[in-house]
Amino acid sequence: MDLITFQNSWVPKIQAQLDEQITTDVAQSELQAAMRYAVLAGGKRLRPLLTIAVLETFGVAPDSLLQATDAIELVHSYSLIHDDLPAMDDDQERRGQPTTHVKFGEDLAILAGDALQPLAFQWLSQTNQLSVAQRLELVQALALAAGGNGMVGGQVLDMAYTGADNVTLAQATQVHELKTGALLRYSLVAGAIMAEVDQTTRTALNQFGQAFGLAFQIKDDLDDLGQDDVEDKQAYPTILTVPGAVAALQEQVDVARLALNQISAHCQVSTDLLDAFLQYFDATLEKKW
């Protein structure tokens, strides 16, 4: 299956679950409206799609687990709300629409983000299709990925390096492994927990997630070339030059594919569905820079 077909099959189901469940779980109408606005505004839904792909790879039907697979989107959406605030990136638009704080005011936007984060853990903890041990492990994994040693820690470093005269490759990589990569890695690990794969396979899925996350950021930096008035000192093309960033992107794609080959050899399963996610980088790699 190619990535577009997979997305077309699952994104409407993800969207419907998010729509219905947020409405069910949040009674306060104004708060619910802000939360729904932030979560349902679009996006590629890469994170739950990655979890679903792991489940399908290992023969687990994802339909009854959508509440658990979609919990990551609540954390991702809360992070975007807070990133867009005036105290952070001060963005006025996201995906062509006013940001949540522009639409609803800063106070309600902050509270919507505050409400989305615990709701994610509520969804994980009440997924009765999973064992208590699985739910606990998912809650712990998401807490680590989203917290001070994960996404939030990456945002702190991002702010610290913003405006710096010079940012090293190691510093930029650390930012992106935490700020962007932590939730992407969680998405793969979450699938591993739900599918109850062995530790060797879980390690390989984590390696795939780490490479995918870095590739995701490098692609984003390359695609953003020329869009900003101020040179981003943390962007891979700035640090490595454009040819160097393209080469780094290819290297991460190769690392991700190697991890999938290890899974195939170890488990005797097809990893073609997960490999299809690497199609996301084809256009950037094939572009004549």
Inter-axis angle of helices 132-146 and 106-125, nearest 10? 150
What pLDDT, in 10s, does the model give residues 169-179?
999 999 999 99
Residue 286 has pLDDT above 90, yes or no: yes
Q: Which residue has the tokens 């983000």?
A: 113
What is the rounded distance in angstroms from the CA atom of residue 157 to the CA atom of residue 286?
32
Query: According to CATH, what is the number of the domain 3-286?
Result: 1.10.600.10
For the ranges 13-22, 39-48, 130-139, the lowest mean pLDDT is seen at: 39-48
User: What b-and-e string marks burial along 280-289, b requiring 16 or more CB atoms within 10 Å of the CB?
Assistant: bbeebbeeee
What pLDDT sits at residue 225? 87
User: In the structure, what pLDDT confidence band is assigned to residue 229 with cuts at 50, 70 and 90?
Assistant: low
Q: Which residues contact 274 (CB under 8 A, 6 or more apart)?
A: 50, 53, 54, 57, 208, 260
Q: Is 137:193 a contact under the CB 8 Å cutoff? A: yes
